[in-house]
């Protein structure tokens, strides 16, 4: 074609690169420009791609007064100059008019593709990259949606690194192993390690090996997936199944916040965001936040409507919440027996809900079934150790059963957790008073009793319950160190008989009992010797006493 021009353009690399713009050139023959029918393309005008020929010495461009020719000018500099100023990153391949204003910025590329892959844009990417080294659990980098087009290898590399931090192995592999590029070996190693830990998490979850799940999740996060909400949720789920509810809740509170990042990545067959909400719902239920649990389970189900596990969780959560609500209504109206049935119905759907066990224990207490109340409180505390309400209800039930020592132990624990609670303090004092009166009525002493003769020793051994004999020597340093602690144990366990034998004053008794080293402790229960300890530690001595009291 006689009036044509030649365009030469280096292959596009990074759209934000200055080298790309510098390499963009437009050549033409001066002879062609001087021909009467020559027209040059206006790459900046949204109205017409044909503009009058302008000589190289034309004046500065002046905008037209037409409102429909936004961006076009009556005169303009050479095409080469115009192209350098253009930020589109591409050259129009035809003279077709466009109906929209081209207002493209560096880093944005226009394409005929209708897809919208994830890619960082200009400053957005570098802003995220600059924060990545110091990313915290509160704010983490996330991809930005940009118009589709050919993505340069370096962008794929950066996206792969980002997805590794997000714990999205499939997306990371797609960008890292993009056709025609050599993957970074360090990132490839990280990807393979992440995939290994995710696979082991999946296997551990299927068989209920929750300790292994915690271990593998920690390993995946340490490998670099430190901004992955779904991996944190996986650890929280494992802790929940191990009945470490407070630890699970704390774990969820550390989930990274990803602004504007909506990923369709999956974990354990669930959309990642739905999985996180599912675990949050179950932790809320375990802590008695039933309404919040239902809301989160519903949101999770909406995000992944076809997943059977999410459907099952939503159904169970709704049924448990309904049973708890019904039980509370019946309890408030004084219908304790029916309330216990309602709470039991909820336990059919969630047999590990400590709140339902504790509520049913309250029903048994009101009905005078204190043994059953203790059993349900024990079950609640087995699931949720440190559950204050369950400890208080068990202590009250112990009091009704006359088990004052057990009641004092529970009240003391709650007192340490709630030092400012006056009601707990009063209950503890009442339990201690009752225990002291019981000890006196049974003939127990609140001090260590000395034994010096063999006959008295035999009589003391035959006493009912637990008896502890401390064989000591006043000249032995270890005996002097542990004696005050024995006095403390005597006050702490008033239902236990404590005796002291000085081997220097009672040589015959020491010889009869074959005492060769002091301090020596012998324990008897209902006349039978159950344990002998030589130079025990304080903790071991107390643990042994508690063991034989049960």
Print burial letters for 150-184: b (CB count within 10 Å at least 16), e (below 16).
ebbeebbbbbbbbbbbbbbbebbbebbebeeeebe
Q: What is the pLDDT of residues 525-546, one digit of tens each?
A: 988 999 999 999 999 999 999 8
Q: How would you class 132 by CB atoms within 10 Å of its CB: exposed for 0-12, middle for 13-18, buried for 19 or more?
A: middle
Print burial letters for 100-123: b (CB count within 10 Å at least 16), e (below 16).
eeeebebbbbeeeeeeebbbbbee
Does residue 359 sit in the same domain as residue 303?
Answer: no
Range of the domain at 517: 449-549
Does residue 285 sit in the same domain as residue 416?
Answer: no
> What does the DSSP 8-state code read for residue 384?
S
The reported pTM is 0.56
Residue 6 located in a structural domain? yes
Does residue 390 sit in the same domain as residue 522?
Answer: no
Residues in the chain: 550
* Other residues' Cβ atoms within 10 Å of the Cβ of residue 512: 12
Domain count, the chain: 4
pLDDT in tens, the chain (550 residues): 444 443 343 443 344 344 444 444 444 444 444 444 444 444 333 443 444 444 444 444 444 443 343 343 344 444 444 444 444 333 333 434 444 444 434 344 434 344 434 333 333 333 333 333 333 333 445 554 444 445 566 777 777 767 767 767 677 777 667 655 666 677 777 777 877 878 888 888 888 898 998 898 888 888 877 777 888 888 988 899 998 988 989 988 888 776 555 666 777 878 888 889 999 999 999 999 999 999 999 999 998 888 899 999 999 999 999 999 999 999 999 999 999 999 999 999 999 999 999 999 999 999 999 999 999 999 999 999 889 999 999 999 999 998 888 999 999 999 999 999 999 999 999 998 888 777 666 556 668 889 988 889 988 898 888 999 999 998 899 999 999 999 889 888 887 889 999 999 898 899 999 999 999 999 999 889 999 999 999 999 999 998 888 6
CATH number of the domain residue 222 falls in: 1.25.40.10
CA distances from 106 to 89, 153, 188, 417 (A): 8, 18, 30, 60
Instruction: Report whether 518 contacts 475 (CB < 8 A).
Output: no
Does residue 207 sit in the same domain as residue 303?
Answer: yes
Does residue 66 sit in the same domain as residue 172?
Answer: no
Does residue 427 sit in the same domain as residue 490?
Answer: no
Residue 120 located in a structural domain? no
Residue 333 located in a structural domain? no
């Amino acid at each position: 074609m006689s009036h044509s021009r030649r365009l030469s353009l280096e292959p596009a690399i990074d759209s934000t690169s200055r080298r790309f713009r510098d390499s963009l050139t437009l050549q033409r023959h001066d002879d062609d420009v001087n021909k009467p029918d020559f027209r040059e393309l206006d790459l900046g005008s949204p109205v017409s791609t044909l503009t009058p020929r302008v000589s190289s010495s034309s004046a500065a461009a002046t905008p037209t007064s037409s409102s429909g020719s936004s961006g076009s000018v009556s005169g303009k500099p050479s095409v080469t100059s115009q192209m350098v100023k253009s930020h589109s990153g591409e050259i129009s391949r035809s003279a077709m008019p466009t109906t929209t204003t081209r207002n493209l910025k560096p880093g944005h590329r226009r394409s005929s593709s209708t897809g919208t892959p994830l890619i960082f844009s200009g400053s957005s990417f570098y802003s995220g990259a600059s924060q990545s080294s110091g990313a915290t659990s509160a704010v983490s980098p996330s991809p930005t949606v940009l118009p589709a087009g050919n993505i340069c290898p370096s962008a794929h590399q950066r996206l792969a690194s980002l997805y590794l931090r997000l714990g999205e192995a499939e997306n990371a592999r797609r960008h890292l192993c993009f056709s025609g590029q050599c993957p970074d070996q360090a990132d490839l190693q990280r990807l393979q390690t992440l995939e290994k830990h995710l696979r082991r998490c999946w296997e551990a979850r299927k068989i209920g090996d929750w300790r292994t799940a915690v271990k593998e999740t920690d390993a995946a996060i340490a490998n670099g997936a430190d901004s992955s909400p779904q991996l944190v949720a996986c650890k929280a789920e494992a802790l929940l199944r191990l009945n470490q509810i407070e630890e699970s809740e704390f774990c969820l509170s550390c989930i990274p916040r990803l602004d504007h990042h909506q990923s369709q990545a999956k974990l354990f067959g669930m959309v990642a965001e739905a999985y996180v909400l599912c675990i949050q719902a179950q932790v809320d239920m375990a802590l008695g936040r039933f309404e919040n649990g239902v809301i989160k389970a519903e949101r999770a189900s909406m995000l992944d409507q076809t997943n059977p596990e999410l459907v099952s969780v939503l159904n169970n959560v709704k049924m448990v919440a309904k049973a708890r609500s019904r039980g509370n209504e019946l309890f408030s109206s004084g219908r304790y027996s029916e309330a216990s049935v309602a709470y039991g119905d909820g336990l059919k759907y969630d047999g590990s809900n400590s709140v339902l066990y504790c509520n049913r224990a309250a029903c048994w207490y009101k009905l005078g079934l204190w043994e059953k109340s203790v059993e349900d409180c024990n079950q609640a505390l087995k699931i949720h150790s440190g559950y204050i309400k369950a400890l208080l209800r068990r202590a009250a039930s112990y009091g009704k059963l006359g088990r004052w020592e057990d009641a004092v132990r529970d009240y003391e624990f709650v007192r340490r957790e709630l030092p400012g609670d006056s009601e707990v303090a009063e209950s503890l004092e009442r339990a201690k008073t009752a225990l002291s009166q019981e000890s006196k009525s049974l003939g127990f002493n609140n001090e260590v009793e000395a034994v010096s003769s063999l006959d008295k020793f035999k009589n003391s051994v035959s006493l009912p319950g637990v008896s502890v004999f401390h064989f000591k020597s006043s000249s032995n340093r270890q005996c002097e160190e542990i004696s005050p602690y024995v006095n403390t144990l005597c006050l702490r366990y008033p239902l236990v008989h404590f005796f002291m034998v000085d081997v220097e004053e009672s040589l015959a008794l020491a010889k009869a009992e074959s005492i060769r080293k002091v301090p020596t402790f012998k324990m008897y229960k209902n006349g039978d010797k159950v344990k002998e300890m030589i130079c025990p530690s304080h903790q071991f001595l107390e643990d042994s006493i508690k063991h034989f009291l049960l």
